Structure formats: structure tokens, C-alpha cells
Structure 1
């Protein structure tokens, strides 16, 4: 009896070991992740970074040359149209004179002063001659009325009176010229040396704010002598914002004015909405982070949000935009993670009777997460997402 057990025991152990080996090499179901094909709303959008910008910006510059006083405004300060003083322009200082030029200028002032006095003396003499000629003419005229003076004497007296009057007028003009020359020579001494510098002036040009808004940037803060057209400040109204998004030119052709825009990651609790107003007709070249030249186009959109939410945004704030180029309400769609290429066609693995079945599909619109299915699938069919290289047509699978 014992010998019989000794014979059967090794045989049983060998059969069990062989069964274990066969079982180990039998194909096992491949664990996979699966989702159902569903119908529902679908949106295709162009996603790019963008920034806010003020619609109307005003660059205030100097209309004429002169010395601009220090600008006391800071970015963010409110300004009112026709009320807020932005900058004051004073006349430029003349060149400083060296001692020799200063002495010559003072000598010219003294000479001009003497010329004025001489012209005034000449004027006084001309005035006396005029009065004497007028009195002589009056006497001759009375004598002529009594036939005590001839016509020639009357005409001679009248000629002397007119000549005296013209001499007086000439002397008066000479006085005015002498005074102008005196003022001109005296003006050469104004601010001609470091002593006696005075900020006060009888003339100044004031630049007043043209709009209601705030100061965006102060481009010239310190006092300086500037030429015409030098930028001083940039003004704008932060309540009047628009959205600026640069997209690839291949995406720009899909965007139409009136398209919806979703503003994400702008810092608020929920996304904001906007509407495309303009797709600019000209593209520009931009170098990407990878060093690739790209042709990009600016898309301009208006915000459709409350004033309270818009007030939290400012000029040049960054956000992530989604510009809707297509949307459907009842679309049969499959996750993009289930799709892969088979030759030139798209395909998925469909789970049927516990096995993966390869099936080609025809796609319509696509976005980063889903794709519209035109043919090849029906609603509630289960497809494998992220299929590994172990998943092949006909293999047994089990859903994790």
C-alpha cells in the first residue's frame, strides 16, 4: 500500500505543476479604462493668452519748446477734462554770458538809454517848432483875411506848419525806436548769470487734461527743457476696456465678429464673457518660445460684464481666452484620448462581449478633449481610453 502512494504522489505533483505552468501562460484579460460614447453640447474654441487694453489712450506731449516744470501727478491719479492741470511750460533760459559779453551787454544798455534821452530831446525840440509854426500860420491866416498878407505868404506859412508836424511825428517814431532798442538790449541781461534765478514768470503755457480718466504713465517727471512733441503723460479711462488676443493666422480665419469669448484665469472667481468685435486684417511675425517664426493676428473683443467686475481689471492685465469658433447642442462625441490613427483613418477600440474590437470612425469637429463622431459609433457604446500596446483587436479586456 505504501509503495502505491509513493508511486502516485510524484505523478500527482507533476500534473499539478504542469497545470500551474499552463495556467500561468494562458492569456489573461487586459485591464483597461473605458467610457461611454454620449450625446451632448460641444464647443470648439481657439485658446490663447491675451491682455486687456484701454480703448482710447491719450498721449500728452509738449506743443512747443520750453522748460517744463516738474510733474506732480502719479500713475493712477484721476484727471478731469478741462480742469486738471497736467503740466506747465515756461520759456527756456537764455545762454549764460561770460564777464566780457556781460560788460558789452551792459554797455549796449547804457548806449540805448542815452539814445532814448537824445530822441526825447529831439522830440521836445520838434514839438516846440510845431507849436511855433502853428502859431505863425494862424497869424498869417488872420492877416490874409484882412487882406494884409498875400496868398504866397499864407501858403508858405502852411508849408512850414506841415513840415513842423512831420518833423514832430518823425521825432516821436525815433523815440519809440530808441525805447524798443533799449528794451531789447536790456532783455539780453535777463537771466544772463546764475545769480537771481527766479521760477516766477509773467508768461506760462498750461496743459489741461483733455479727458476724464486717470494717469496711466508719467513719461517725463522731472523738470527739463524739451522740444515740441516730447511725450509727457499717457492718459486713459480704465472703465473703457477691450480684450486683445493674438492668435495664429490659421486660427484667425475661423473666427467671426460676434463670436463668444470666455476670459479665464484673470484673477477672479469665475470666467468673464466677451464678444469679438474685430479680427484685424493684417498679420505680424512673432518668434515663439521655441524660436519658430509664427504669423499671428490680433483679435479685439468687448467685455460683456458688469462695471463692478470690470473695475477689478486694469490696462495690460493678462488672461487666458477661449474664442468659440463652433458649437453644437446635441453632438455624438468621443473622448480624444480614445482616438488613434490606423493608416490614414481614425479608429477606436470598442468593448464588445468582453473583447476589444477595432473600429474605424469618421470625425467632424474636434477640440482638445473630445471629437464629434459622424460615423462608426452609436450612443452608449463603450470605448477604451488611453489604450496600451497590449490592447489589440480581439483581445479579452476587463474594465478597471
Structure 2
């Protein structure tokens, strides 16, 4: 092809393009009508069902657990035996501890029996009374013997003076000397008797004191035995508690969520055997991005949906928002800061699901829509009809008389499907869906009306 031919062809194509451009042939577009209704702003997240509390039945102490017969999903009642340990060793320990307590009780009874000591003290008191009188009599006897001896000594001295004057015979003097010596001997004997009786009196007093000290010692021994008995009773109570704990009972009316062991085996204390829960208290747990949590409040309405729920979503409300966030890695490997939000089912919803034979348990995957704002009776349009211009102003193309009109709009509450329009559009206006970048205001178009475009499932 020659250069001239190429130029002619290009010229023809240019003329042809200008013809089509200025011929104002209508461009086909999809449109949807603005209408009056309710617009809801929501946060959508993946979530899972959970329970506010899971009761974990664990081994109370080291030992051997017997076979566990309850099964997952089995209903249990409060107080029902759900697991047991082999208690033969515990039973023997309890019997030994009980015997020790009984032994201490018998010893305490023996130590508290003071009848023998009291009788002995009474006898000592009587003996001491008699001994006191005897010592007093011996004291008076030795006083009399002393007076007799003094008299005999003075009588001998008088007779001796008479003998020196030859006024008394030698035999009479000898008789006086014999009387003096006998009196002295009697006096010495009475002194020895009095002192011997005093010694016996002291010995009896010491014996009484010894019995009293022995009683005091028995009181102290009884106190020691009481403390030892308390310690033995404490050990018995601990063993009895362990024995009672060895029979594990359900703390609630609920359902067996998980069973970790079935057969008999030896396990350490603290090993989890069963997990129980009350499915009537089932709730939903969602991890929401922290930047969105500020728009959520306790009581905010929620739609709960997913295959586990069924074809229609069920309703719930936000029960609790955790005060502390945490870091979570997304499926794309992005580090995100999230906050846990707890959602409760509306009243009787869970029972309705059960009546529909929907098996819903804990840790089931669901999706939630947490509504942060709801505007009823407003002008709303499809979210795909709105766009921003270079300066950030929201705009839309409205079709009037089969020509496009570019209008500025002020949106309000919006979600991924719909948007509230405060100004710029009225109900009944037809808006172009996903307008082309080549579209201009005043351009002739051929509209094709689309109904229920991207309608939110919440409606």
C-alpha cells in the first residue's frame, strides 16, 4: 500500500469517527430508581458461637480414673455422677485417719479423768489434818519434857548443895541425879519425836503438791492431745474431701461438650476429663477491627447468619465489648488490631433453631452484621450509583428525558449496598449504575431499568 493510500484510509476513519461522535446516538446504560425506605450502616465480620462459661471437669488429684461412660452431646443434670476415680487407696487412708482421731479421743478421755488424783488429795488433806494435830501434841509433849528436865536439873543442884553441907545423904543425891538424867533423856526423845513428825508432815505436804503438779501436767498433756486431735481431724477432713472429690459430679444442668478420655487410666491432678456447658446460654463472639468498635454500643442490633443458622438470619444484640484489644494476623498476613465483641441471641431464638432441628453448638462459624446506625423513611439509592469527583465531592448521574444530568449529592448513612441521600436526589429519580468514566453530562442515553439492584439481605 502506498503512502497516499494510507493517508486516505486514516482520513476516512477520522471522518467516520467524528460522524458517530456528533451524531448523538443514544448510549445504553443501566439505571435504578431512588426510593424511600430504611438504610442501615453495619459492620460485617466473621464470628463464632461461644459460651460465657465452659465447666471443665478435671482430675482432683493424682490417681486412676475409671471408664467414663457419658458421651458428647449427652444431657446431664446437676449432681449427676459423670466420672469416678479408683478410691481403694483413699478409703484405706480415710480409715487410718479416722482410727487416729479415735485414739486421740480415748487418750483425751483418760487424761481428763482426775478421780484418782482427787481422791488422793482428799485423803492427803485428812492425813495432814491428823498430822497437824499430832505434831502439835508432840510439840506440847516436848515442852512438858523440857520443863520436867529443867525441874529435875534444878532439884539436883539444890540437893547437891545440901549434900555438900552434909544435910543430904549420898543415896538421895544419887536418886536426884538419876531423875535428872531420865528427864533429860525423855526430853531428847520428845524432841526427836516432834521433829520426826514434822518431817512426816512436810513429806505429806510435798506429796499433796506432787499430786497437784501431776494434775496440772495432765491438763497440759490434754491440751497437747487436743491439738494433735485437731490436726488428725484436719487430715481426716482433707482425706474425706479428696474421697468426695474422687466422685466427680456435674455442677450444672447442661450438655457434655467434649470428652478427652474414655478408658481407665492413671492421670495427674488437673488433667481435663470433660467439658460441660449450657447451650441455652449460647452467644456469638466476633473480633472487630478496633477503628470500628467506637461505633458499636451495648444493645446494638445484630443479624446473625450463615449455613449453621439457616437460609434466614436471626437477630441478636451486642451484650459486651471488651475493654482491651489484641493483635491478630489476617488471612493475608496483615497485622490487625481487633477488639472482642460478644453478641447475644434475641429471646427464644435459640429455642426456635432447636425446633427447626438446627444443631448449633459452641465454636460454630457464623457471620454477623452489627448495625451502627439505622435511618428509617429516607431517600435511598444503590451504593454503586455514587462516586467522588477529583475534589472529593459525592456525585451521581441522573437520567432525565433520556439525557444524563450530573448532580452533587450529600449522602448520609450508607453501607456496601445502599446509601441515604440527604440532598440532590429525590425518590423516583433514575440513577445510572456504575457510570462509565467517558460519560458526560447532557449525553443522550438509552436507560435500562434494573430493579432490586444489590439489595441488602437485611431488608
Which of the numbers 382, 385, 396 marks the counterpart of 1:335?
382
Q: For residue 78 of structure 1, report the CA deviation from its aligned partner.
A: 2.0
Matched with 2:432 is 384
Q: Distance in 1 between matches of 2:245 and 2:428?
A: 81
Q: Distance in 2 between matches of 1:20 and 1:274?
A: 62
Question: Aligned pairs, how many?
Answer: 283
Q: Is the 8 A contact 2:63 2:266 kept in 1?
A: yes
Matched with 2:234 is none
Q: Distance in 2 between matches of 1:258 and 1:22?
A: 62
* Match status 1:231 vs 2:228: no
Which of the numbers 59, 62, 66 marks the counterpart of 2:59?
62
Structure with bigger gyration radius:
2
* Match status 1:48 vs 2:91: no
Q: Distance in 1 between matches of 2:245 and 2:301?
A: 51
Matched with 1:393 is 441
Q: For residue 317 of structure 1, report the CA deviation from its aligned partner.
A: 1.9
Q: Is the 8 A contact 2:304 2:366 kept in 1?
A: yes
Matched with 1:30 is 27
* 1:295-314 aligned within 5 A: 295-304=337-346, 305-306=348-349, 308-311=351-354, 312=358, 313-314=360-361
Q: Is the 8 A contact 1:67 1:92 kept in 2?
A: no
Q: Distance in 2 between matches of 1:39 and 1:77?
A: 51
TM-score in terms of structure 1 length: 0.64
Q: For residue 300 of structure 1, report the CA deviation from its aligned partner.
A: 1.0
C-alpha distance 218-34 of structure 1, shift in aligned 2 (>3 A)? same
Q: Is the 8 A contact 1:249 1:295 kept in 2?
A: yes
Unaligned runs of 5+ in 2: 1-14, 91-196, 208-242, 449-459
Matched with 1:370 is 418
Q: For residue 240 of structure 1, report the CA deviation from its aligned partner.
A: 2.0
Q: Distance in 1 between matches of 2:267 and 2:311?
A: 47
C-alpha distance 257-291 of structure 1, shift in aligned 2 (>3 A)? same
**RMSD of the TM alignment (CA)?**
3.2
Q: Is the 8 A contact 2:56 2:273 kept in 1?
A: yes
Unaligned runs of 5+ in 1: 1-18, 94-150, 160-201
C-alpha distance 61-32 of structure 1, shift in aligned 2 (>3 A)? same
Q: For residue 292 of structure 1, report the CA deviation from its aligned partner.
A: 0.6
* Match status 1:257 vs 2:305: no
C-alpha distance 203-379 of structure 1, shift in aligned 2 (>3 A)? closer
Q: Is the 8 A contact 2:68 2:83 kept in 1?
A: yes
Q: Which has the higher strand share?
A: 1
Matched with 2:331 is 289
C-alpha distance 337-22 of structure 1, shift in aligned 2 (>3 A)? closer
Q: Is the 8 A contact 2:39 2:374 kept in 1?
A: yes
